[in-house]
Amino acid sequence: MNIDDLHSSVQAHQPGRVLLSNPSIARIPKIKQILSAAGWTPHRKTPERDDALALIEVAPPQDEKGLWIGAAFIPDQPCPQVVRPAPLGITIDTRGSVHNADHPSDLELILATTPLDNAAILQRARNLAEHLRMLQLCKNPVQAADIETPKVPFVLVLDQPQNDPCLPPEPQATDQLREMLVLAHEAHPHADIIVFTPNQDENGAITGHFEGADSSPNVTLFTQPANPWHLFEFATAVYTVSSPLGFDAILAGHKPHVFGRPWYAGWGLTQDHTPIARRSRSLTRAQLVAGAMYYYCKWFDPNTKSLCSPESALARADARHRAAMEDRHGYVASNMLFWKRRHLRRFFGSHAITFTNSDSKIQNMRNQGARHMTWGARTDATVDLRVEDGFLRSRGLGAALVRPLSLICDDLGQYFDPTHASRLEALVHQSCTLAPHAKQRIDALINRLIHLRLSKYNVESQTITLPKGYKVLVAGQVENDASILLAAGSLCTNLGLLQAARAAHPQAVIVFKPHPDVEARLRRGKVENATEYADVVAHDADPIALIEACDEVWTMTSLIGFEALIRGKPVTCTGAPFYAGWGLTTDLGTVPARRGARPSVLGLAHAALIDYPRYFDPATGAAISVEDAVELLASGPMGRSKWAQNALSKLRQFRARFLGLDR
């Protein structure tokens, strides 16, 4: 039984028309698109007899056909570039609220009655749970970022807001919470107890159930909006009535004491002080995650306007979380070309970017917490971040001023400069041991890239027929490019590379692929006598088709070498590109001794394609996952029209000729 069929099997009524008369539901961004993707027909017209009524998730049971709609179980992350971003996902329940245990919900029936024995789904659920534990997402990551949490063992008691719909009515809610604190005291008489009560209204007033009067010598009220995952890390026990954070505590490895009747209680993963008789089944953590995340929640892809997997939703949440955390103090940028500034301002849009070349203004903003960024290989001592294009950049050349959808911000150096360590090198070292979820993700990503035949620029080009025989692809480069100047070593010309490849393979078919900027006469590196050493000069040829057709690749420092590696081709490097020196390439040049780690190709690719770059939707500037970026690259033209790209290329050609850059 597939995921959709399993949820359908427990629903009280099958998808059909649903009336969006509740303003709270109608205001959910993209709610019509999400419901439509889930098979429903939402409308706000005159109701018909068989219409379901859309209700908020805490609404009481209804006599008529209802559809309870709530937030999915991965917290939405900030996305300041989009005015009303769609939620990562929603819950749709045909029986009632998951917060009202007086009546079973669709989720309860999934957990209680369905097999939950699909081995593939359970393995994905294990990986997802581990990934959630690693990411430690919370609702307000920017607020929580700089809050210190205790680093000594303690008992954690979770307070809840006074109007929390997960709680029973008053005074029962207050009685349960205070009883919980008393029992925590009795069970841990000598332990420090932290009551986590970060519930504040818009004026900053605490709205939880505990006050200073509830403190005793070993009880501390923790009122700051910290990341609860940081508290779970040092907690020896967790107590809750019905907080949604109880589910996070389970993912963090706890077996929380539960005094209410939340959806995650009663399945053998909690210590239940108010048992629910009809919940008699014991589940593993993977089964709980599978039931809740895979079979119950509906995850939404705003780009394709269709449902997606929880892994895709989590990757999108991770991208937004990373952007929020890295951008939270703002930036001051110097030496940025004017045409780059617009998309940089949109991409790093959590705070305004200040563009200035004034040393005093740069230092003043750094003193206020902003980070100083600049483009490429500049070595100013005040530079905190060096920005470069990512390895999946665009559909069109940067030389044609096509804006990128991936950027790299390196706080240590530049990936193309082997004379200094870079953040990418550190990430490659870390990638030698990938978690199962990381292996699963990068393997799927590489397979998708291969299937879609994507590369860095994805320029429209022709496929050529090559002669038979053992074929060696020689990747030409721009000879005054920073990567050549810094990483090529003594062999630093396209002609020299061709001669070396021919000398090593006198009988092979040598296929020379000039760099597209050189072919467009925008940059330096043309080889006048290439046919003396190459059997084929592949003008305007598809680089991926050439990689697939050839038996090995020779390069100085070209990214084509990396693209060949992930496609299983042997690669010989005469220089020291970022992917050389790790035991994956034949290295004829000098590579840094510090590259002593031995990652797999998957590990190298994870560092280069997932951990290192950030990805952006060119249309909105919003942070997206690498998977979203791949689908955008595959879906057709982006940014400037082909006519505009050609016109800009002509202007760049004129400039190159005038300055002598094309010689």
Q: What is the pLDDT of residues 177-218, one digit of tens each?
A: 999 999 999 999 999 999 998 766 555 565 788 877 566 788
Whether pLDDT at 659 is above 50: no
pLDDT at residue 230 is higher than 80 = yes
Lowest-confidence region among 138-142, 299-303, 526-530: 526-530
CA-based nearest residue to 21, from 39, 48, 1, 58: 48
The band of 163, judged by pLDDT with boundaries at 50, 70 and 90, is confident
Starting at the edge strand found earlier in the chain, the sheet holding 353-355 runs 353-355, 331-334, 371-375, 385-389, 406-410, 613-616, 623-624
Q: What is the pLDDT of residues 553-564, one digit of tens each?
A: 999 999 999 999
Residues 152 and 235: their CA atoms lie apart, in Å, by 8
Does a structural domain hold residue 14? no
Closest by CA position to 622, among listed 141, 34, 30, 80: 80
Q: What burial letters (b/e) apply to 398-413, b meaning 16+ CB within 10 Å?
A: bbbbbbbbbbbbbeeb
Instruction: State mean pLDDT over 402-407.
Output: 84
> With DSSP H G I counted as helix, E B as strand and the rest as coil, what are the percentages for the chain, rounded to 5?
35, 15, 50
Lowest average pLDDT, out of 24-38, 151-165, 390-404, goes to 390-404
Instruction: Please name every residue paired with 610 in a beta bridge, in sequence order, or none if there are none.
Output: none
> In this structure, is residue 142 part of a structural domain?
yes
Q: What's the rounded Cα separation, in Å, for the pair 373 and 429?
A: 25
Domain C-terminal end among 242, 275, 308: 275
Q: Which residues make beta-bridge pairs with 555?
A: 573
pLDDT digits (tens, 9 = 90+) for 465-487: 899 999 999 999 999 888 999 99
- Mean pLDDT is lowest, of 127-136, 376-385, 575-584, for 376-385
Question: pLDDT tens-digit profile of 256-295?
Answer: 999 999 999 999 999 999 999 999 999 999 999 999 999 9
By the 8 A CB rule, do 297 and 38 touch? no
- With beta carbons less than 8 A apart as the criterion, state whether 238 and 246 touch: yes
Q: Are strands 154-158 and 52-56 parallel, antiparallel or unpaired?
A: unpaired
Task: Identify the CA nearest to 615 among candidates 188, 322, 240, 342.
Answer: 322
pLDDT of residue 661: 45
Least confident of 414-418, 586-590, 650-654: 650-654
Mean pLDDT of 314-320: 97
Residue 360 CA to residue 342 CA, distance in Å, equals: 24
- Phi then psi for residue 510, to 5 deg, are -90, 125
Share of the chain above pLDDT 70, in %: 89
Range in 168-172, 344-348, 634-638 with the lowest mean pLDDT: 634-638
Considering the chain, what percentage of its residues have pLDDT values greater than 90?
Answer: 69
Residue 323 inside a domain? The answer is: no
Exposed/middle/buried for residue 342 (C-beta within 10 Å: 0-12, 13-18, 19+) = exposed
Is residue 654 exposed (0-12), middle (13-18) or buried (19+ Cβ within 10 Å)? exposed
Q: Is the pLDDT of residue 305 over 60?
A: yes
Segment 525-537, tens digit of pLDDT: 677 888 899 999 9
467 DSSP 8-state letter: P
**Residue 662 pLDDT exceeds 50:** no
Closest by CA position to 68, among listed 111, 24, 29, 109: 24
The structure tokens listed for 37 are 């993707």
pLDDT score recorded for residue 584: 98
- Model confidence band, residue 575 (pLDDT cutoffs 50, 70, 90): very high
pLDDT for 395 = 61
How high is the pLDDT of residue 213?
58
CA atoms of 416 and 190, how far apart (whole Å): 56
Asked if residue 311 is part of any domain, the answer here is no
Nearest to 380 by CA among 348, 328, 333, 445: 333
| Concatenated DSSP letters of 67-113 | EEEEE-SS-----TTSSSPPPSEEEEESS--TT-TTS--HHHHHHHH
Rounded to whole angstroms, the Cα distance separating 58 from 42 reads: 20
Give the mean pLDDT of 651-658. 52
Q: Is residue 107 part of a domain?
A: no
Q: Band of the pLDDT at 304, cuts 50, 70, 90?
A: very high
Is the pLDDT score of 636 beyond 90? no
Is residue 426 in some structural domain? no
Let me know if residue 161 belongs to a domain: yes
pLDDT at 646: 54
Which spans in 207-337 are helix H? 228-234, 245-251, 285-289, 310-327
Report residue 401's pLDDT band, with 50, 70 and 90 as the boundaries: low
The last residue of one of the domains, among 232, 256, 275, is 275
User: Domain with 589 in it: what CATH number?
Assistant: 3.40.50
CB of 532 within 8 A of CB of 496? Answer: no
Mean of pLDDT values over 603-617 = 97
pLDDT at 583 over 90: yes
The Cα 101–Cα 261 span in angstroms is 6
Residues 6+ apart with CB under 8 A from 145: 227, 325, 328
Q: How far apart are CA 492 and CA 461, in angstroms?
A: 26
Give me 297's structure tokens: 């929640």
Which among 247, 275, 303 is the end of a domain? 275
Polymer length in residues for the chain:
663
Instruction: Look up residue 376 and give its DSSP letter.
Output: T
What's the CA gap between 439 and 602, in Å, rounded? Answer: 7
The verdict on residue 319 lying in a domain is no
What local confidence, expressed as pLDDT, does residue 656 receive?
46
Domain carrying residue 268: 138-275
pLDDT in tens, 83-98: 899 999 999 999 999 9
Q: What is the mean pLDDT of residues 584-609?
A: 97
* Residue 255 confidence class, pLDDT cut points 50, 70, 90: very high
Q: How far apart are CA 334 and CA 479, in angstroms?
A: 26
pLDDT for 558: 96
Query: Total domain count for the chain?
Result: 2
Per-position b or e across 134-160, b if 16+ CB within 10 A of its CB: ebbbbeebbebeeeebbeeebbbbbbb
- Which residue matches tokens 């994956």? 584
CA distance 378 to 222: 45
Q: What is the pTM of this model?
A: 0.91
